[in-house]
Every structure is written in structure tokens, then in C-alpha cells.
């Protein structure tokens, strides 16, 4: 009787399933990240978006929005969703929270949320590339290490906070929606006379 080496046969697709499971686990957010990363990031996102549109949000409103959005993000990330889908669920929550907490209409809240998201994403991309180049730490490596995951976005957060402070101090805006609405009201009043 000839001896054959033992072979284990792995069902097709098992490697893919394990990779997907790892990706899903990476999408889940530990509670410490909610407090130390998600809340500050959301506060920066909404402050930046609103400030670029000429609004001056109160810190209390921004912190309420950031806390509630981060809690919603934490809960959404516990759902068995494909990675990346959570953003499409979180964005409407952010828009509604911004509209309610800052007394804005949904269109203004949506513009502020989207603008803040785009600027934050672009800044994050640039800073991730810079930090990776300077430190030699890959983004994937930073995401897998709890301490690095907390420290990696700090330069970006500091930079964007300084930008928000400068924009507010010098009354700078990309597009001042409130001023535009005031001009439209004035034109409407002139037409009625």
C-alpha cells in the first residue's frame, strides 16, 4: 500500500470569506475610537463645512452633532454591511443632526456636510501620504495598531482646527450662504416697492 502525503482540501472561496470577515472587523469601531477619533473628526468636519459656507456654529451645537453622529456611526458599524456602505447611512444622519442642531434647512445642512466631508477626505489623503512618507508607517499598519490609529490623524486634526480658527477669525468663507440669502431678501423687498 503506497503512502500518500496528507492533503487538506479547502473549499473554494474560503480565503475570500476570511478576507471579507477581516475587512468587516476592521470596519467595526472600538469605543475608545468613538471618543478620541470619531467625535473630534466629526466636530472638525461639521465646523469646517459650516464655516466654509459662512455659518458660525456654536461649539455646543457642534459637540452635540459630533457626539450623536459618532454614536450613530458606532451603531451602524456593528451592522453586517460591506465596508464603505456605512458612509451612505451616516451622511443622512449627519445632515439631519446638523439641520436640527444648527437651525438650518436640509439643503444648507447637506451642503455643509458634503463640503466638510470632501475637504476632510482630501486633507486626510494628503496627510496620510505625508505621514507615511515621513514615518515609514503604512496606513494599513496604522489602522491595525490601536495606538497608531489614534495618533495617525492628529497632525491632520491640528491643521484643520487651525484652518477653522483662521477662517472664523477673519470671517472667510468659500461661499457665504447667509449673505446670499440677505441679498436675495433685499432684492425681493426692492421689487415690492
Q: How many distinct structural domains can be found in the chain?
A: 1
In this predicted structure, the answer to whether residue 95 has a pLDDT above a threshold of 90 is yes
The pLDDT > 70 percentage for the chain reads 85
C-alpha cell at position 32? 475608545
176: in domain: no
18: in domain: no
The per-residue pLDDT for 77 is 85
The per-residue pLDDT for 188 is 73
- Enter the DSSP assignment of 86: H
d(CA 101, CA 93): 12
Model confidence over 105-146: pLDDT tens digits?
A: 999 999 999 999 999 999 999 999 999 999 999 999 998 998
15: in domain: no
20: in domain: no
| Contact by Cβ (8 Å): 123, 159 | yes
Q: How many residues does the chain have?
A: 193
Residue whose grid cell is 461649539? 59
126: in domain: yes
19: in domain: no
d(CA 170, CA 154): 24
In this predicted structure, the answer to whether residue 17 has a pLDDT above a threshold of 80 is no
184: in domain: no
| Contact by Cβ (8 Å): 47, 62 | yes
Q: Which has more pLDDT, 86 or 107?
A: 107
Work out the pLDDT band at 10, boundaries 50, 70, 90: very low
Residues 6+ apart with CB under 8 A from 13: none
C-alpha cell at position 81? 454591511
| Least confident segment among 66-75, 103-112, 172-181 | 172-181
For range 24-48, the mean pLDDT: 85
Q: Is the dihedral of CA 144, 149, 152, 157 positive or negative?
A: positive
Residue whose grid cell is 451612505? 88
Residue 84's domain spans which residues? 30-170
8: in domain: no
Amino acid at each position: 500500500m503506497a503512502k500518500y502525503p496528507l492533503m487538506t482540501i479547502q473549499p473554494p472561496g474560503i480565503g475570500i470569506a476570511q478576507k471579507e470577515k477581516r475587512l468587516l472587523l476592521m470596519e467595526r469601531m472600538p469605543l475608545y475610537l468613538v471618543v478620541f477619533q470619531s467625535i473630534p473628526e466629526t466636530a472638525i468636519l461639521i465646523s469646517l463645512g459650516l464655516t466654509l459656507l459662512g455659518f458660525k456654529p456654536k461649539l455646543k451645537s457642534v459637540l452635540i452633532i459630533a457626539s450623536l453622529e459618532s454614536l450613530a456611526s458606532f451603531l451602524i458599524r456593528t451592522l453586517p454591511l460591506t465596508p464603505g456602505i456605512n458612509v451612505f447611512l451616516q451622511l443622512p444622519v449627519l445632515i439631519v443632526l446638523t439641520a436640527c442642531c444648527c437651525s438650518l434647512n436640509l439643503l444648507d445642512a447637506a451642503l455643509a456636510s458634503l463640503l466638510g466631508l470632501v475637504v476632510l477626505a482630501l486633507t486626510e489623503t494628503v496627510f496620510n501620504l505625508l505621514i507615511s512618507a515621513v514615518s515609514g508607517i503604512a496606513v494599513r499598519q496604522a489602522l491595525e495598531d490601536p495606538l497608531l490609529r489614534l495618533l495617525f490623524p492628529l497632525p491632520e486634526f491640528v491643521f484643520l482646527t487651525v484652518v477653522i480658527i483662521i477662517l472664523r477669525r477673519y470671517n472667510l468663507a468659500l461661499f457665504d450662504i447667509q449673505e446670499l440669502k440677505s441679498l436675495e431678501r433685499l432684492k425681493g423687498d426692492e421689487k415690492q416697492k
